[in-house]
Structure 1
Amino acid sequence: MNLVKDIPELINAGVISPETAGKIRDYYGEKGGQSTNRLFVVFGILGAILVGLGIILLLAHNWDEFSRTAKTCWAFLPLLIGQVLCGFVLIKKPESVAWRESGTAFLFFAVGASISLVSQIYHMPGDLGLFLLTWMLLCLPLIYVMKSSIASLLYLIGITCYAAETSYWTYPATESYSYWILLLTILPHYNLLSKTNPESNFMVFHNWIIPLSVVIALGTVAGQTDELMVPAYFSLFGLIYLIGELDFFTRQRPANNGYKVLGLVGTIVMLLTFSFDWFWEHLRKEDFPWNEVFTSPEFLAAFLLTLSGIGLLVINLKNSSLTDIKPIGVVFLLFIVIFIIGLSSSLSVVLVNILVFAIGMLTIRDGARRNNLGILNLGLLIIAALVVCRFFDTNLSFIIRGGLFVSVGIGFMATNYWMLKKRNPNG
């Protein structure tokens, strides 16, 4: 059925009035225009990137045949083209998202190409970390001058690569504290995007890339007391999850809420990882220099993240009742208690396993209460993952392992059958 084509028939039959028919036509016309505009933006950005890469490849093929002066001119040519293109957009096409984003994407890569070519021509010393930092700083104004979200996304990816390069991939590693300052510079654009275009694809990508970038970069603060990064990461995932529970994000589709998904998955994966005894055995043997622990960057990161998580939890409690708070949202607080116990006792590994099982059961109950098969099966999946982890635990016999698998399998079938029966009593 095509509603727009059926409008004349509906008018003749008296089902809708001519005014309603006009509104329907306007609505579907606007909807189709938005879809076309989105495709135009995507293809414009891809086209600009491909053109830029094509120019670089053409230059690379004949590079050795050019003189130094010619090489310098060619090095600045993509940059000049990109600036002219962005200037044209600002003057002639300021309201066109497709022109703005594609022109900015071209200039963004032109800046990186020009830096690398000039460095190669004149044999300027430097490393990849310095190159990425210079590139991102030069492209930062593009985000606000061009009001470009593609520049913002590329900038986020760039500063994340910079943090990883300086702290993970380079030996000897150095602290990349400047990453956190660079990250703050993107927040005004992110805030403006959330107000002007909260349901756009650019907003969805930001909702995923920002928390993922922070998760990757948090490990760069690890130093002598890296064991403290475990509660720090738990607090980070709890904070991310609680951000995803804010009204602004809960109104969006689950797939668009990167904060909630990453917070949930990160918390569960970490709980399952530390449901084994290897970490806790190492922790009990560790001799911490307590006079240095409280001034270490790891402790400061854990403290600030925990404090932020508590603050956001209080805000969520003000906007909803205590029963509406999901167990994932308070795991970071419970884990701090378990971590302190684990410093001197093997009871911590038992508590982690109980916590994972409790989260699974509470999730199953929540799914049954909401009549939601997805949430119910998520709870079953958490318990199944815990059973799989215990399968590789050498302290359990094969009979107990097999019994656990059978129990979980029966649980999957029984709960899904019960839920489907509840939905369709006559089926």
Structure 2
Amino acid sequence: MSLKKDLDELLDAEVITDEMANRIRAYYMERKGGRSPHRLILAFGVLGALLVGLGVILIIAHNWDKLQRPVKLLFAFLPLLIAQGIALYTLLRKSGQSAWREGSAVFLTFAIGASISLVSQIYHIMGDLSSFLLVWSLLVLPIVYILRSSMASLLYLIGITAYACHEGYNYPSTPPTLYWLLLGGAVPFYYRLCLQAKNSNFTFFHHWFFPLSLITVLGGMAERQEELMLLAYFSLFGVLYLMGKLPYFSTLLKRQNGYQVIGVAGMMFMLLIWSFDEPWREVSRHTFYMSGEVFLPIAFVLLNMGMLYLYWPKDKKDTIDPLAYISLVFVLIFLVGTEHAVAASLLVNTLLLLVGVWVVINGSKRQALGELNFGMLLLAALISCRFFDSDLSFVSRGILFVVMGVGFFMANYWMLKKRTGHEGK
């Protein structure tokens, strides 16, 4: 019998949990990968390309001022020509070897950046960092598809994120609306990677880089109504969490599922920040008006609602995950906060308390030690925020922190004892 069939049978019989099944799959995948030197060769190939590229740049930079302009121009294009030659050789002779594709793609990516910057310096071509990053990223994008390079794709995501941040966060700032088109350029490659290399480490990195890029850039889209970004961010975290719950991602381990981890962590972090009164007072003092900035938060809210509709259990046996609906509840709290700051703060604290209690209870039922600790950590963070927000004495705060620490210890001890008892039967 196959491993998949055996695990499905054990899951149907409720002998093991989903978390245990995921761990078993990961264990056998790691064992299978550990027998082949493929990953090691790939890692050394990429590392070697990085070191060669950086070494060439440092050698040229050391003697740059002593060189004549024609020699400078030669050195400006020489790394690019060498990198293109290696890339052409890879396509003609080594296209089936990922180590060659990844290494040549990384070398060519850095050679392009070095050539652009050197030519600009030689001829004193004026320009800012954002235009340099934009041109560099646009030239890297074809490399991603021609060489089928996952590493070039990750570098491209870093490049467009840096470009968007420079545009959106530097004064005078301009919303980097071109970022959405640039991000869409990497989506087809990411989609193909998910289909053809689901268990590749490069695919797992993409599961983290895509949401992190979105979160980093989103704040730069605001112009005059920054408060609206609160709705956009929270809805985005809700969308990311729901994406992590899709069948494709739900079978992954937590460290591989960047969407779910970032989504839930982002929602909890924002709830803790907005559990204080002062941020809501800023929102209640702001006068909102119709402008182009309104459409982005609305789009994320509608996208979140659409995914919630798809996620709604179709079978009576399916359970409802309250964490999936936090983002929708927060939209209602935000509407309250535009008029009543104290009421919104009270609602956020109540929501955090309910979520923390539910996570602890659910983790206890499922015997999931990580989930139990996450729930208790969330409750401890909420209590800590209220302690530092109150006039309690240091002795009272110290006693309460000791009580929380003991609670953590007792809960983990009880869970481990319960697990040991089940294993002994």
TM-score by length of structure 2 reads 0.88
TM-aligned CA distance change 1:80 to 1:179, over 3 Å: same
Do the aligned residues in 1 keep the contact of 2:313 with 2:319 (CA within 8 Å)? no
Q: Following the alignment from structure 2 to structure 1, what is the Cα–Cα distance between the partners of residues 315 and 241?
A: 16
Partner SS, residue 312 of structure 2:
helix
Q: Following the alignment from structure 1 to structure 2, what is the Cα–Cα distance between the partners of residues 52 and 42?
A: 16
Give the equivalent residue in structure 1 for 2:127: 126
Deviation at 1:63, TM superposition (A): 1.2
For residue 263 of structure 2, what is the amino acid of its counterpart?
A: G
Q: Following the alignment from structure 2 to structure 1, what is the Cα–Cα distance between the partners of residues 35 and 189?
A: 22
Mapped pair 1:272 → 2:272: yes
Q: Following the alignment from structure 2 to structure 1, what is the Cα–Cα distance between the partners of residues 354 and 69?
A: 68
Partner SS, residue 185 of structure 1:
helix
- The within-5 A match list for 1:31-70 is 31=32, 35-70=36-71
Partner SS, residue 339 of structure 1:
helix
Q: Following the alignment from structure 2 to structure 1, what is the Cα–Cα distance between the partners of residues 274 and 231?
A: 11
CA deviation digits over 1:38-77, x for unaligned, max 9? Answer: 0111110110111011111111111122211111111000
CA deviation digits over 1:156-194, x for unaligned, max 9? Answer: 0000000111111x3211121111100000000000000
327, 333, 336: which is aligned to 1:341? Answer: 336
Deviation at 1:419, TM superposition (A): 2.1
Q: Which moved more, 1:369-378 or 1:386-395?
A: 386-395
TM-aligned CA distance change 1:339 to 1:148, over 3 Å: same
Do the aligned residues in 1 keep the contact of 2:175 with 2:223 (CA within 8 Å)? no
Deviation at 1:307, TM superposition (A): 1.1
Give the equivalent residue in structure 1 for 2:5: none
Q: Following the alignment from structure 2 to structure 1, what is the Cα–Cα distance between the partners of residues 311 and 377?
A: 27
Deviation at 1:313, TM superposition (A): 1.7
Do the aligned residues in 2 keep the contact of 1:237 with 1:263 (CA within 8 Å)? yes
Mapped pair 1:309 → 2:304: yes
CA deviation digits over 1:373-425, x for unaligned, max 9? Answer: 11111110100011111121035566764564355334323332332332234
Give the equivalent residue in structure 2 for 1:10: none
Q: Which moved more, 1:43-52 or 1:277-286?
A: 277-286
For residue 413 of structure 1, what is the amino acid of its counterpart?
A: F
- The within-5 A match list for 1:295-334 is 295-297=291-293, 299-318=294-313, 324-334=319-329
Aligned-residue RMSD, C-alpha: 2.1
Deviation at 1:228, TM superposition (A): 1.0
Q: Following the alignment from structure 1 to structure 2, what is the Cα–Cα distance between the partners of residues 95 and 389?
A: 55
Gaps of 5+ in 1: 1-26
Give the equivalent residue in structure 2 for 1:413: 409
Give the equivalent residue in structure 2 for 1:369: 365
Give the equivalent residue in structure 1 for 2:140: 139
Give the equivalent residue in structure 1 for 2:190: 190
Gaps of 5+ in 2: 1-27
Q: Following the alignment from structure 2 to structure 1, what is the Cα–Cα distance between the partners of residues 408 and 35?
A: 42
Do the aligned residues in 1 keep the contact of 2:87 with 2:105 (CA within 8 Å)? yes
Q: Following the alignment from structure 1 to structure 2, what is the Cα–Cα distance between the partners of residues 276 and 249?
A: 34
Deviation at 1:372, TM superposition (A): 1.1
Between the aligned residues of both structures, percent identity stands at: 47
Q: Following the alignment from structure 2 to structure 1, what is the Cα–Cα distance between the partners of residues 65 and 147?
A: 35
Give the equivalent residue in structure 2 for 1:252: 252
Deviation at 1:231, TM superposition (A): 1.4
Partner SS, residue 117 of structure 2:
helix
Aligned residues: 394
Partner SS, residue 109 of structure 2:
helix
CA deviation digits over 1:197-248, x for unaligned, max 9? Answer: 0110100110001000000011111111111111111101010111111111
Give the equivalent residue in structure 2 for 1:360: 356
Do the aligned residues in 2 keep the contact of 1:387 with 1:404 (CA within 8 Å)? no
TM-aligned CA distance change 1:126 to 1:322, over 3 Å: farther
Do the aligned residues in 2 keep the contact of 1:240 with 1:262 (CA within 8 Å)? yes
Give the equivalent residue in structure 2 for 1:284: 284
Q: Following the alignment from structure 1 to structure 2, what is the Cα–Cα distance between the partners of residues 356 and 401?
A: 20
TM-score by length of structure 1 reads 0.88
TM-aligned CA distance change 1:190 to 1:300, over 3 Å: same
Structure number, greater radius of gyration: 1
Partner SS, residue 287 of structure 1:
coil
Do the aligned residues in 2 keep the contact of 1:225 with 1:296 (CA within 8 Å)? no
Q: Following the alignment from structure 2 to structure 1, what is the Cα–Cα distance between the partners of residues 254 and 79?
A: 40
Partner SS, residue 279 of structure 1:
helix
Q: Following the alignment from structure 1 to structure 2, what is the Cα–Cα distance between the partners of residues 153 and 397?
A: 50
TM-aligned CA distance change 1:337 to 1:381, over 3 Å: same
Partner SS, residue 255 of structure 2:
helix
Deviation at 1:115, TM superposition (A): 0.2
Deviation at 1:31, TM superposition (A): 3.2
TM-aligned CA distance change 1:350 to 1:407, over 3 Å: farther
Q: Following the alignment from structure 1 to structure 2, what is the Cα–Cα distance between the partners of residues 312 and 235?
A: 11
- The within-5 A match list for 1:226-245 is 226-245=226-245
Q: Following the alignment from structure 1 to structure 2, what is the Cα–Cα distance between the partners of residues 399 and 320?
A: 52
Do the aligned residues in 1 keep the contact of 2:109 with 2:140 (CA within 8 Å)? yes
Q: Following the alignment from structure 1 to structure 2, what is the Cα–Cα distance between the partners of residues 322 and 389?
A: 38
TM-aligned CA distance change 1:191 to 1:119, over 3 Å: same
Partner SS, residue 310 of structure 2:
helix
